[in-house]
A and B are shown apart, each in its own frame.
Chain A
Amino acid sequence: MPKEQANWSPYDNNGGTCVAIAGADYCVIAADTRMSTGYSILTRDYSKICKLADKSIMASSGFQADVKALQKVLASRHSIYQHQHNKQMSCPAMAQLLSNTLYYKRFFPYYAFNVLGGLDSEGKGCVFTYDAVGSYERVGYSAQGSGATLITPFLDNQLKSPSPLLLPAKDAVTPLSESEAIDLVKTCFASATERDIYTGDKVEIVILNGDGIRHEYEELRKD
């Protein structure tokens, strides 16, 4: 019998867009809440944002099952860290852990595209951006996922980050105020939703600053 049955793939792309912006004393992390497969929408209210520690928040798109597995690994590693050190992991430490966790599966990767946002030990905003196998970089802002190609150039244009080649190194944080950054994120998602079918329904925005953590939501196009 010829084999023409449906074959299967261990991977799927469930879409979604993640954005993070770091400021002098805050960090904004955002992601839409749509989950898709192919041309179908699975659900319109799925949070892609995960609080890994008090001062590190991860937003992830890609293959949802891998993302969930990754979040579970990081959560358990963080609970071990807390037992051993009696404190929360810092955002740069979590960034390195995330990179190592991704690279650990280099030859059967987590199909996950992450941005990690938070506050560093000085209380300054920080954003780390990743690929699926763990390469990462500290930046001032980043977009990942299906809408990243639409949002990145817009952020580049609006935020004009200093070249990473400059010596002495210049701070990557953006000059915006917190409320300006939130508005910018909302604009980014509203625009990406117009052209990217995998982005839409709602944006979830998490704002991290000296006072603590705050959530905001904004409705997006549902088509």
Chain B
Amino acid sequence: MIPWVRSRFLLFLERTIHLSILFNRIRTKYLGWVSSSLEQLFGVAIAVQGKKIKSRRTCFRLINCRSPPVEYSLLKLEHSSNALYVMDSLLSSEGDSQRTQYPYVTGTSVIGIKYKDGILMAADMGGSYGSTIRYKSVERMKQVGKHSLLGASGEISDFQEILKYLDDLILNDNMWDDGNSLGPKEVHNYLTRVMYNRRNKFDPLWNSLIIGGVKNGHKYLGSVSMIGVHYEDNHVATGFGNHLARPILREEWREDLTFEEGVKLLEKCMRNLLYRDRSAVNKLQIAKITDEGLTVSQPYSLKTYWNFAAFENPTVGAEGSW
């Protein structure tokens, strides 16, 4: 078979088998049979954590003795030798996967609100490497085209890749030279399709995005998640922000918020996040976008007060704690 046809076919097989297992279409006891048939027909076999399933017995041995989650991968068999090597596989624990299995450097919440003249957005500048705060000057809000502002939480490298896609998009749009330009609604819709397409390929962009902007006096604020869930609202927040900031926004947000009131409201939200979100850092930016254009503030920090009784003795009155 032609190599690329073969590799495409194997990828398809792998995905089908993975989904079949995911949706319980194959009982574990038949995996040995499936695996040996595949080996006869196509020279590939199913493996559990690097070990090939040969028969029903090895299948039970490999799967039953392991605590879930068991990870399956397709192994490609060399013609003559018994050497096995792992394909670019869906959920394999091996290191050569080209798909993002988990994020490396991540940013925490972003918050966005509509206000009288446009959109305000706030994000801190931390970049976490797991639970280590590794970077402290990451800009997580960027301008997109003439009328839009994009804020991201999640994997920073994926965010930078998204910005490249958007640069391409805007450039291609500019080349029409028709005096038309993409607004926030169009950019949001584009991002929605990109995120959803990548989840369909089982290779997600690990971000929650917030997109805001103003075009022709029309304010727009929306959000997209890493699997493509998206919506518009008067105020949006990602991650912890949805738990800690949005209840405040629901109480205090108004349509006719002035710039100063808006900034004050965002600072209140960011301060709350700073107190309770361990990945948040006290260095943030606030971005403003109106019909006049976009400004992103210089980084600054918030005044904090750590002497609240609940911070000093958090377990007082909690029976059974020490």
Contact = CB atoms under 8 A, between A and B. Distances in A.
Nearest to A44: B233
Contact of A65 (B102, B130, B230, B232): B230
Interface stretch (A3-11, A154-162, A169-177, A183-191): A3-11
A107 B25 CA distance: 10
B102 A45 contact: no
A221 B19 CA distance: 39
Interface in B186-204: 192, 196, 199-200, 202, 204
B123 interface: no
Interface string A10-54: 111010000000000000000000010100101101100000000
A65 B227 contact: yes
B231 interface: yes
B196 A69 contact: yes
A86 to B, nearest CB: 29
A65 B16 contact: no
A45 B103 CA distance: 31
Interface in A53-105: 63-65, 68-69
Contacts of A69: 196, 228
B62 interface: no
B243 interface: yes
B93 interface: yes
Contact of A12 (B202, B227, B243): B227
Nearest to A63: B229
Interface in B53-107: 93, 101-103
B204 A8 contact: yes
A46 B242 contact: no
Nearest to B199: A10
A10 B225 CA distance: 11
B229 A64 contact: yes
B265 interface: no
Give chain B's interface residue range (CB within 8 Å of chain A). 20 to 34
Nearest to B69: A7
Give chain A's interface residue range (CB within 8 Å of chain B). 20 to 34
B226 interface: yes
Interface string B110-141: 00000000000000000000100000000000
Nearest to A10: B199
Nearest to A42: B231
Given A5-B102, A10-B202, A69-B196, A64 B233 contact: no
Contact of B231 (A10, A12, A43, A108): A43
A8 B227 contact: yes
Contacts of B204: 8
Interface in A116-151: none
Interface string B191-221: 0100010011010101000000000000000
Contacts of B223: 42
Interface in B7-54: 16, 19-20
Choose among B93, B226, B242 the residue with the greatest number of A CB atoms under 10 Å from its CB. B242
B242 A10 contact: no
Given A5-B102, A5-B103, A40 B231 contact: no
B227 A46 contact: no
A46 to B, nearest CB: 5
Contacts of B225: 12, 65
B315 to A, nearest CB: 24
Contacts of B199: 10, 65
B229 A14 contact: yes
Contacts of B228: 65, 68-69
A46 B230 CA distance: 10
Interface string B157-193: 0000000000000000000000000000000000010
B19 A65 contact: no
Contacts of A63: 229
Contacts of B202: 10
- 6 closest A-B pairs (Cβ-Cβ)? A65-B228, A5-B102, A43-B231, A43-B233, A64-B229, A65-B229
Given A8-B204, A43-B231, 10 more contacts: A3-B102, A5-B103, A8-B227, A42-B223, A43-B233, A64-B230, A65-B192, A65-B228, A68-B196, A108-B200
28 contacts: A3-B101, A3-B102, A5-B101, A6-B103, A8-B206, A10-B199, A10-B200, A11-B227, A12-B227, A12-B229, A37-B229, A40-B242, A42-B223, A42-B229, A46-B231, A64-B230, A64-B231, A65-B192, A65-B225, A65-B228, A65-B230, A68-B192, A68-B196, A69-B228, A107-B16, A107-B20, A108-B19, A108-B200
